Amino acid sequence: AQSVTQLDSQVPVFEEAPVELRCNYSSSVSVYLFWYVQYPNQGLQLLLKYLSGSTLVKGINGFEAEFNKSQTSFHLREPSVHISDTAEYFCAVSDLSWGKFQFGAGTQVVVTP
């Protein structure tokens, strides 16, 4: 079984400032890792994913995340946020078989001018 912990429930940030959203996971097997974004009143959209290869993955809108196997972390970073990045962000893990996803509780990012 897997579990996902998002360490911050809410992150306020000023426009054009950097932001880091923390995600730690636990699993007894190898996993895939994902970040999803949910804009207000919408479903979740994939932001980026780590399946294999380079531990630094880049996603849409300038977001990137780094997989750290020794620390079992997959933190998300954005070097310069925009007002439009205001949303809830979910970290998720999936095993390598048929893909049962486990989601974190979410981190609400509020970007202000």
Q: 46 to each of 17, 19, 37, how far by Cα in Å? A: 23, 18, 6
9 binds other proteins (CB under 8 A): yes
Give the tokens for residue 4: 């996902």
CA dist., res. 20 & res. 23, Å (int): 10
Using CB under 8 A, which residues numbered 64 to 83 contact other proteins? none
103 binds other proteins (CB under 8 A): yes
In the chain, what is the straight-line distance between the N-terminal and C-terminal CA atoms, in Å?
A: 41
**Binding pattern for the stretch 32-51 against other proteins, x by CB under 8 A and - elsewhere:** x-x-x----xxxxxx--x-x
Contact positions vs other proteins (CB under 8 A): 4, 6, 9, 32, 34, 36, 41-46, 49, 51, 90, 94, 96-101, 103-106
